Structure 1
Amino acid sequence: MRKLGVLPILLLVAGCSVPVASGLSEPDANEVLVALEGGNVAAAKESDPTVEGRFRVTVSRDDASAAITILQQNNLPPPQAPGVLDTLGEGSLVPSRTAEHAKLVAGTSGDLERSLRAIGGVLDARVHLAVPVKGPLGEEDTPTPTASVLVRHRGATPPISAADVQRLVSGAVPGLSEKNVSVVMSSTPEPPHPAERDLARFGPITVTRSSMTPLRLLVGAAALLNVVLIGLLVALWARIRKTQQELAETRLSAEAAQRDAR
């Protein structure tokens, strides 16, 4: 019986999948799914059991290495920079003027980075804002705000022009002119087209050839487990029938003994 308890564990291990990205929002999880499916890697989205309200993406154990490579090429999952609402909600109840200004600048940078990453073809974006704190009396000699932006994109042609980036950033920061926004574009080569997967059929199921052996072992172990369970049920039924017959014979013997005693 102890050996039978090991079989379900072996079945689970043989057929398990592994997470390649976790703690994701649903849009980020969907983006990961699209990238993996575009690379011919089958993936599934499910609720993350470790983080409430978050999702994770799983693939088969055989595809884990290919999935991680695809995610690295596409800079996924996207980094989570805090926005204005996130940064202003942190810290003490009555923050200092300087601390509140720093949080506002950091949150604005995070919001701009998310906006740039939302553009198709943009893999990553970094926005660095230098916005001096204005004095309480609004002094005229306050230094001019400046910004530096790094955009990493796929392919040789940027999906957004430097001028558009300047307009986007300057429009989000009061007093920042477009000419004071420096933009650097960094291109990343297109990934090679994924090779066709070596597929094989196992009955009505199509799987990768590397998964054929584990699948056969899984089906064989399941069939063996069914045979063992059927054998146990037959043996249990036979034991019950034998016990019933013995009880019937004992009862008949007792009744016969009572009649003889009379």
Structure 2
Amino acid sequence: MLGKLFEPYVVHVLPHLLLCFGDGNQYVREAADDCAKAVMRNLSAHGVKLVLPSLLVALEEESWRTKAGSVELLGAMAFCAPKQLSSCLPNIVPKLTEVLTDSHVKVQKAGQQALRLIGSVIRNPEILAITPILLDALTEPSRRTQTCLQTLLDTKFVHFIDAPSLALIMPIVQRAFQDRSTDTRKMAAQIIGNICNSPSSLQVRTVSAKALGAMVKGMGESCFDDLLPWLMETLASEQSSKLDKLMPDVVATASKEDIAST
């Protein structure tokens, strides 16, 4: 009901909510879970910054109940708004992978469930299809990493790669970069290359091109003397296949008399 007006009180409520996750009554635990989702769903970017440090500190507590509650709250962050989610996941997922080897079984299970929650909000179809393999590699890195790397290498990235997808992929790839095997490090590098060549990079180029056009229009061509030669060189380079595709549109647009030159 209160939405973001409740944010200043969230930090004060967290210790009590952490205890409720480990309550002996099932209904209290379920209420705590619903509460966590409601809180995370309404947090602003500032709210996430307030909450996240407290939860990460709670992971270092000796009490397994407090630790498990913190893990469950971190998992509930999967219900944050997409913008907030993308900002916090790079900090959350590595910590969740650490608790998978915790001495207490219930903390381990809480970590696995939290990672599954994050995996459930993935929107990229390619990554969604291999989420179980990613989660296996995060849970059992010594046994499952190689299979996961090969699966990622065989995946053709067609759609935009969202934050939850990257959050699950990057710990696996980063571990592979630290491996002694040259082949494993090579696979990791190839995966990063495949990700960077996905359509998301095309969207970045499109937005960048529009921004560049706006700058030229606003500041004048005299401020960008080197721009046109660079553009022509890029279009006509041997490494680029853009010239044949784009030049007919460029010529057609340039020939129109009813539009401004910029």
TM-score (norm 1): 0.26
TM-score (norm 2): 0.26
Indicate the structure (1 or 2) with the bigger Cα radius of gyration. Answer: 1
Structure with greater proportional helix content: 2
